[in-house]
Structure 1
Amino acid sequence: MALRPISGETLADAAYRRISEAMLTGGLEPGARLVMDTLAAQLEISRTPVRDALHRLEREGLIEPAGRRGFVVRRLGPAEIHHLYEIRMAVEVFAAGRVAELGSEAVSHVADAIRKAEVMGLSEPAEAFAANRLVHRAVVEATGNPLLVDLFDGIWTRATALQVYSGYFQRELVHRPIRELHQPMLEALAAGPERAVEVMRHHIQEGLEATLE
């Protein structure tokens, strides 16, 4: 596949993001080979930032060496997918309960995020990913705990998350409105901590099951 050229960004980070996006959209499927010279030519940058991006992806377990032929995109197993969702459960379920405890102002922050996400494009998996992330990040932001937000970002900005969620986004999010997916969660936040925890846990569990299909 052809990757879009990079301009106006930190090259190593931009190369990482471009390659990650290709994994999300299906342009780079498990088993695809990544050759440094080819990627550098497609991105119109030197080999060095591409090498840095590939090593970062390797550290995250998304790709593995393939001898002199560069790297190959790994297929994540069920255990790795479960691990990612377990961490999401720990962070986001706690956040949902805390937002419900804080009350209407915190819940309004999430409602605002849903309204913003509704006007974002959803025709591509990468767009659906961004809209969904906006809503879920708003729940964590509304707790007022910056360390919790850092944990959330550490989960959702990993290329691992992109690959894990890619199939789910292509099947679900590009076909279902953001409000339809998240209105039950918003109502649960307003209903109180117990209900908020229950619905957020169910919401994330549904995502796990859909991802494993």
Structure 2
Amino acid sequence: MVIQKISLQRESLGEIAYRHLFEAFLNDALIPGTRLLMDDLAEQMGISRTPIREALQRLEREGVIEAHGRRGYVVRETTAEELNQQYQARSAIERFAMEQLTIDGDAGPRLRAMLDELTARPQETADQVFRANRDFHRGVLEMLDNELLEEMFDLVWNRGLTSGIWAKLARDEDCVEKFYADHLALIESIESGDIETAHVAGLAHINAGRAMYEI
């Protein structure tokens, strides 16, 4: 297991450690069952245990890892039931956002501009694919200006870090084209002005995401 050493920046060390671990989960460098020891991680990243502890405690709160022994954690295995719950929660949050924007009636141009910007980003690694997809759905939600919903969104999306699905998507040669087409369909359903159309499109998108997992 190799975790990139950290160089000092203005960003807090705890946040940087969290981000490095986050990327390791997405790229399958840390898979379910892997033990994470604070001392080992601190040595690999070249920092003290305090920011490592902060990062690990945050990941534990998000359900990605769980405590295992003294000063240690283990990467959790995501069960089929947990994935079902994750996607049910996504459906509730994201379809509500689509409903509100459909009622609003003028979100189309902003959504299309956001999709164009995200599609122009590189999507060659699992981290890049994850962030493009998450940023689109979070961008939709941010248009409601509801911080509590945004916090719920972040918690739900981070539950799927250890599934391996994002690395799989990054290997798909048509990844960018599919990303654009899938999310354009959501925008068009919002632009239709019909709540039922938006609900159906949102549910189909969520169900397609859940179907990609092998459990």
**TM-score interval, smaller chain:** 0.7 to 0.9
- Rounded Cα–Cα distance in structure 2 between residues aligned with 1:96 and 1:143: 10
1:77 aligned residue = 79
Instruction: After TM superposition, list the pairs within 5 Å mapping 1:79-158 onto structure 2.
Output: 79-103=81-105, 105-156=106-157, 158=158
Unaligned runs of 5+ in 2: none
2:169 aligned residue = 172
Identity of aligned residues (%): 36
Partner deviation per Cα, 1:62-86 (whole Å, 9 max, x = no partner):
2233335832211111111112111
**Against the structure 1 CA distance between its residues 150 and 59, is the aligned structure 2 distance closer, same or farther, given a 3 Å change threshold?**
closer
User: With structure 1 as the length reference, what TM-score do the two structures score?
Assistant: 0.87
**Against the structure 1 CA distance between its residues 15 and 187, is the aligned structure 2 distance closer, same or farther, given a 3 Å change threshold?**
same
Partner deviation per Cα, 1:26-59 (whole Å, 9 max, x = no partner):
0001111212222111111001211222233233
- Rounded Cα–Cα distance in structure 1 between residues aligned with 2:108 and 2:146: 15
**Against the structure 1 CA distance between its residues 75 and 150, is the aligned structure 2 distance closer, same or farther, given a 3 Å change threshold?**
closer
SS in 1 for 2:212: helix
SS in 1 for 2:74: strand
User: With structure 2 as the length reference, what TM-score do the two structures score?
Assistant: 0.87
**Against the structure 1 CA distance between its residues 138 and 54, is the aligned structure 2 distance closer, same or farther, given a 3 Å change threshold?**
closer
CA shift at 1:152, angstroms? 2.3
- Rounded Cα–Cα distance in structure 2 between residues aligned with 1:113 and 1:18: 26
Contact 1:31 1:73 in 2 (8 A): yes
Contact 1:35 1:71 in 2 (8 A): yes
**Against the structure 1 CA distance between its residues 148 and 61, is the aligned structure 2 distance closer, same or farther, given a 3 Å change threshold?**
closer
1:18 aligned residue = 20
Contact 2:66 2:76 in 1 (8 A): yes
1:5 is aligned to 2:2: no
CA shift at 1:181, angstroms? 2.3
- Rounded Cα–Cα distance in structure 2 between residues aligned with 1:37 and 1:163: 22
**Against the structure 1 CA distance between its residues 143 and 108, is the aligned structure 2 distance closer, same or farther, given a 3 Å change threshold?**
farther
- Rounded Cα–Cα distance in structure 2 between residues aligned with 1:112 and 1:173: 23
- Rounded Cα–Cα distance in structure 2 between residues aligned with 1:59 and 1:143: 25
**Against the structure 1 CA distance between its residues 138 and 53, is the aligned structure 2 distance closer, same or farther, given a 3 Å change threshold?**
closer
Contact 1:92 1:200 in 2 (8 A): yes
Of 22-31 and 147-156, deviating more is 147-156
2:162 aligned residue = 163
**Against the structure 1 CA distance between its residues 136 and 25, is the aligned structure 2 distance closer, same or farther, given a 3 Å change threshold?**
same
Q: What one-letter code is carried by the residue in structure 2 that aligns with 1:168?
A: I
1:31 aligned residue = 33
SS in 2 for 1:71: strand
CA RMSD, Structure 1 to Structure 2 (Å) = 2.0
- Give the number of equivalent residue pairs: 208
